[in-house]
Amino acid sequence: MGLRDVVERTPGLRTLLDRAYRLYGRRVEVHLANTPHHIGVILDGNRRWAKAAGGTTAYGHQRGADKISEFLGWCAETDVRVVTLWMLSTDNLSRPADELVPLLGIIEDAVQGLVDAGRWKVHPVGALDLLPARTTELLKQAEQDTAHIDGLTVNVAIGYGGRQEIADAVRSLLQEHADRGTSIEELAEILDVEHIAEHLYTKGQPDPDLVIRTSGEQRLSGFLLWQSAHSEFYFCEAYWPAFRKVDFLRALRDYQLRNRRMGR
């Protein structure tokens, strides 16, 4: 039996640890000064958390979805202005239907919950044409319904892949210049990184200062490949459904201690 199991089966010990974490969190929060403006999050570990808890895969995804509003509340307490949540990758679309269909339903409910909260400006990030029509329509409607909100921008990355995004950006760039009558030779002479950046899913937004991945995995898996060129990365052992405010504050503290060179 591991320490986590002992804590879960001992209510008194769990209460004591919860109090200790709250005290620690307050101490860390007091000393935070330079917080990131844009945080990207890879919400990883839902299935493994469910397996460890003896629950179904759908249960894990639902608990992960439930964590989102809590996490955004923590972000709203700081100077964070943009959050990008990777909820479903293009690779995930190849999962068996008995897992993918319930997952899409959970994601749709989570996005609608963000809309109903009336606190967040929702922006879909991904290849929407690869998603079921119902999901695509809901995402577009969510963006319209929250466009007026002057608050935290939440990029919901659904059907998202970093390579797909860059390919889509280049395709959009070529189409734009073709419509203008620009030749390939003329475009080649003027093309620079800013031209491509203007066609990314996150165009007009600052690049992420900090990217957090939960579950202990230490890789990007294609998340924000272009935008994260100068980002700081924080890898957390906790599975996403078990991610606590103290884990979030540790990530911010770690970020604050970094000497950001921005490629220089």
Catalytic residues: 44, 92
Identify whether the C-beta of residue 81 lies closer than 8 Å to the C-beta of residue 152. Answer: yes
C-alpha 84/C-alpha 123 separation (Å) is 9
Paired residues of 235 in beta bridges? 213
CA distances 79 to 10, 65, 67, 172, 247, Å, are 37, 23, 20, 33, 17
Return the structure tokens found at 95: 């999962």
Q: What is the DSSP letter of 37?
A: S
Phi, psi of 211 (to 5 degrees): -120, 125
Identify whether the C-beta of residue 125 lies closer than 8 Å to the C-beta of residue 139. Answer: no
User: Pick from 66, 41, 87, 33: which is nearest to 214 by CA?
Assistant: 41
